[in-house]
Amino acid sequence: MSNPPPSPPSLAELRKEIDAIDEQVHRLLMARGDIIDRLIQVKKTQEVGSAFRPAREASMMRELVRRHRGILPLDTIESIWRVIISTFTYVQAPFAVHADVSVGESAMRDSARFHFGFVVPYVSHFSAQAAVEAAAKSKGDLALVSAIASRTPWWNALEADGAPKIIARLPFLERADHPAALPVFVISRVADDAMVTEVQTWSVRVSGWTADVARAVAPLAEIVAVPDTAFDGAALLVSITGTGFETVKTALIKAGASVRSSALVGSHATRYTVPSNGSAKG
Ligand SMILES: O=C(O)C(=O)C[C@]1(C(=O)O)C=C[C@@H](O)C=C1
């Protein structure tokens, strides 16, 4: 005689399983907090001013994509981990996020909240320059500024020694339907060994900036350009992957522009795109 099929678990039993998992997740987060407590001493965070390690964060976010399976959207996993990591950065050394909302207040606020959560204080500014100045005046605050458009050459303020620098580009995990897709540069003062140098960002002043020159250098670099005070001049923020600045400089000159000054104003991790089928590529 065969046994009757096992009856499906009751709602109460399934909820007990969920409670057990929730307890484990909560206990693990508290245990993570204990490790952060020990890490503060090792990193000497208080001396440097900022606990933010963009290189480490970029690689952790990529690892999430690699590991992720199942019905929970990647958007949810990414946003949970952004809140976990940002909050643990904040508890090491409190900081604020200064956002330039002149590019669109709701998109910028979504980016700040998605990437840094609600515990980290958020301050709106009405220009990129004001957001960068606020970060410059602080020990470890961050400025968030559009990475693709500008009305002013705010990056000139990053040229001086000791000035804050571009340290990351958000989102870390790019994709067409990202819930906080606005391309944003993060500007701050961080420890030298925390910098990731895969993409260099240069502040460049040129004269003879024309549509032809822009076309000639487009395959070599991503460029944000604003008119300079000089006739047909421009202040450029040039992001370079792989090739050095000299290659871009040579291309600018060959296309007919003159390079009047150049300064390295930061660097960040290589941009990373998650294709729509879920598997990641660099
Ligand atoms: O790995 C570090 O250096 C940490 O401070 C830990 C941690 C994290 O919570 O995982 C927090 C902040 C950093 O930006 C990177 C990672």
Domain 200-266: CATH architecture, name and number where available: 2-Layer Sandwich (3.30)
Does residue 116 have its Cβ closer than 6 Å to ligand 1? no
User: Ligand 1: which atom is nearest the Cα of residue 32?
Assistant: 9
Considering only CA atoms, give the Rg of the chain: 22
Q: Please give the chain's pLDDT, 282 residues, in tens.
A: 578 888 889 999 999 999 999 999 999 999 999 999 999 888 876 666 689 999 999 999 999 999 999 999 999 999 999 999 999 999 999 999 999 999 999 999 999 999 999 999 999 999 999 999 999 999 899 999 999 999 999 999 999 998 999 999 999 999 989 999 999 999 998 877 777 789 999 999 999 999 999 999 999 999 999 998 766 799 999 999 977 899 999 999 999 999 999 999 999 999 999 967 654 444
- ipTM for the predicted complex: 0.99
- pLDDT at site 274: 92
Q: Give the Cα separation of 64 and 54 in Å (integer).
A: 15
CB of 221 within 6 A of ligand 1: the answer is no
Domain ranges in the chain are 44-196, 200-266
What's the whole-model pTM score? 0.93
Cα separation values, 155 from 163, 178, 261, Å: 10, 26, 13
Q: Kindly state if the Cβ of 81 falls inside 6 Å of ligand 1.
A: no
> For residues 135 and 187, is the Cβ–Cβ distance under 8 A?
yes
**How many residues make up the chain in this entry?**
282
Q: Is 190 in the pocket of ligand 1 (CB under 6 A)?
A: no
10 Å Cβ neighbour count for 159? 15
